[in-house]
Amino acid sequence: MSQKKITRALISVYYKDGLEPILHALAKNNVEFVSTGGTEEFIKKLGYPVMPVEQLTGYPSIFGGRVKTLHPAIFGGILFRRDEAADVKQAADFKIAPIDLVIVDLYPFEETVAQGGSEEDIIEKIDIGGISLIRGAAKNFNDVLIVSSRSQYADVLELLIKNNSSTTLADRKKFASLAFDVTSHYDSAIFRYFNAEQSVSSFKASYANGRVLRYGENPHQKGIYFGDLEGLFEQLNGKELSYNNLVDVDAALNLIHEFQDQTAFVIIKHTNACGVATAPTLKEAYLKALQADTLSAFGGVLASNQKIDLAAAEEINKLFFEILIAPGFDSNALALLKSKKNRILLNQKQTLTATKQFKSLLNGVIEQDQDRHTDSQADLKTVTQRSPTQAEVQALLFASKVCKHTKSNTIILAVDGQMLSSGVGQTSRVDALRQAIEKAKSFGFNLKGSVMASDAFFPFPDCVEIASQEGITAVIQPGGSIKDQDSIDFCNHQNMAMVFTGYRHFKH
């Protein structure tokens, strides 16, 4: 029969919050309780009779609690098939009573790792009995209801009250699916912990808390975000974040992270920077960033690494933008910016910590390390007769930071503390440079004395030739072309400085 009455429940949980009303609902329908340790004591304190697992199995908890439930009296009660005559006979022969409900959660392995626990603590948080109980109960969903996480308590309570502690096959199959989600996520976390040292060539990624988005990149595509947005941000205003919003927010946060020791502001459009600047004050940084492309900034995603004060907010408020991200907002600044109800204001609570990035590709997945290398003065190798001045060095390093986060092929033109323009996503580096020059001029910048950054080497001297014509005086690039010397010779002839970093920053 699809509808089955729960007569006996095995309950053993790490987290007790939310459990009490479930116990009341089960007790009201005369369900017997079997339990262990702290959960057993919890049930007793509520005044309900409970059979200790040790009484059922005839064995005490042994090996420091590592073995408690791994016994045929437990697993037989869960796994025997009630509609198989042979199973029913064996259960009777061995005096194995049915267990119709299992409520078990898992030791907090991920939390222990995240908190920096010792290896001994982490290993002891690898659940054995619990995960076996969950898998066994989920496998036998025809007869058993499995509740595998406290996040399911509200749903199971509603079900128990509504049906007087009876369940349908559809109910049990739904909770079995949730159980295998829990166990697969748990095992993936354990694998990743061990694989940090072993480097087994296998891809395992698991993210819970899926958030259904309005749509994907386009309205005809479905979109879901998996992760903990609430852990990253507090949303203070505005509409729900979209797929494209999330992509741009990620780009903005990765770029602004490059400027930890300076007051910085970035403006992003379709994952590329259309304005980046540093300055003594946030207001100045914003206005300098906006100068680079006042057209593309419309509807953009804005990010700062400083709390938004009123002076900056008064300028930002003049712009139509989608999102503003900052590590805080002064109360008067927040009140002003919230005047537009659809503006998304995000209070950033933590930085991005992912060390890997991956995406689907060719019916598979491609994975790589995050590009965490930021070009520094120590990386710079001067390859021309003239060394860059200190002001040029600062401008080159600034430009390189922006270049790293811009779609290839890319060229960034800048002075110290301000991006003047960018050429992005072009099929040739020459096209990217020409785009950057045209854009800079269209917004009134004089390029004389500015610097140029390239995400990859110059295969020919054409880019430095064009740059020289515009008065650009210094260049930063990875180097590595078999024709590097051609570009070096031209720079020497024009008294330009050029440095190699040895690090390419392609971004596709």
pLDDT per position as a tens digit, 226-246:
999 999 999 999 999 999 999
Is the CB of residue 39 less than 8 Å from the CB of residue 13?
Answer: yes
Residue 207, pLDDT score: 87
Contacting residues for 170 by C-beta, under 8 A, at least 6 apart: 2
pLDDT in tens, 455-485: 999 999 999 999 999 999 999 999 999 999 9
In 10 A of CB 430, how many CB atoms? 18
Structure tokens at 381: 């190798």
* Nearest alpha-carbon partner for 8 in 40, 35, 31: 31
Place of tokens 């401008």: 395
| Displacement of CA 123 from its chain's centroid (Å) | 25
Residue 65, pLDDT score: 74
Q: Which whole number is the average pLDDT over 252-280? A: 97
Q: Residue 56 — pLDDT band, cuts 50, 70, 90?
A: confident
d(Cα 90, Cα 315) in Å, to the nearest integer?
78
* Nearest alpha-carbon partner for 500 in 424, 423, 387: 387
* Nearest alpha-carbon partner for 290 in 399, 279, 280, 247: 279
* CB-facing half-sphere around the CA of 353: CA atoms within 13 A: 7
Residue 249, pLDDT score: 98
Torsion sign, CA atoms 60, 63, 68, 71:
negative
* Nearest alpha-carbon partner for 499 in 376, 369, 318, 405: 376
User: What's the distance, Cα to Cα, between the start and end of the chain in Å?
Assistant: 56
d(Cα 454, Cα 114) in Å, to the nearest integer?
38
Contacting residues for 454 by C-beta, under 8 A, at least 6 apart: 403, 410, 411, 429, 463, 475, 476, 477, 478
Is the CB of residue 252 less than 8 Å from the CB of residue 303?
Answer: yes
* CB-facing half-sphere around the CA of 320: CA atoms within 13 A: 4
pLDDT in tens, 321-373: 999 999 999 999 999 999 999 999 999 999 998 889 999 999 999 999 999 99
* Nearest alpha-carbon partner for 23 in 43, 40, 5: 43
Contacting residues for 174 by C-beta, under 8 A, at least 6 apart: none
pLDDT at residue 1 is higher than 70: no
Q: Which whole number is the average pLDDT over 146-173? A: 95
Q: Residue 68 — pLDDT band, cuts 50, 70, 90?
A: confident
Name the 3-class secondary structure at 398: helix
Task: List residues with catalytic annotation.
Answer: 139, 270
pLDDT at residue 2 is higher than 80: no
Is the whole model's pTM more than 0.85, yes or no? yes
Name the 3-class secondary structure at 291: helix
Q: Residue 436 — pLDDT band, cuts 50, 70, 90?
A: very high
Phi, psi of 445 (to 5 degrees): -90, 140
Phi, psi of 334 (to 5 degrees): -65, -45
Q: Which whole number is the average pLDDT over 205-212? A: 87
Q: Which whole number is the average pLDDT over 195-206? A: 88
Q: What does the mean pLDDT of the chain come to?
A: 95
Place of tokens 């930002």: 316
Q: Residue 66 — pLDDT band, cuts 50, 70, 90?
A: confident
Name the 3-class secondary structure at 255: helix
Q: Residue 63 — pLDDT band, cuts 50, 70, 90?
A: confident
In 10 A of CB 422, how many CB atoms? 30
Q: Which whole number is the average pLDDT over 400-409? A: 97
Q: Which residues pair with 359 in a beta bridge?
A: 366
Is beta strand 474-477 parallel, antiparallel or unpaired with respect to 451-454?
parallel
Measured CA to CA in angstroms, residue 339 lies from 309, 311, 496 at distances of: 16, 16, 49
Is the CB of residue 176 less than 8 Å from the CB of residue 141?
Answer: yes
pLDDT in tens, 10-38: 999 988 999 999 999 999 999 999 999 89
* Nearest alpha-carbon partner for 276 in 371, 395, 437, 429: 395
Measured CA to CA in angstroms, residue 203 lies from 179, 200, 359, 360, 375 at distances of: 22, 9, 11, 12, 30
Q: Which whole number is the average pLDDT over 190-199? A: 90
H or E element that contains 388:
none
- Percentages helix, strand, coil for the chain, rounded to the nearest 5? 40, 20, 40
In 243-398, DSSP assigns E strands to 264-269, 272-278, 300-304, 321-326, 344-348, 356-361, 364-369, 381-382
Q: Which whole number is the average pLDDT over 186-190? A: 94
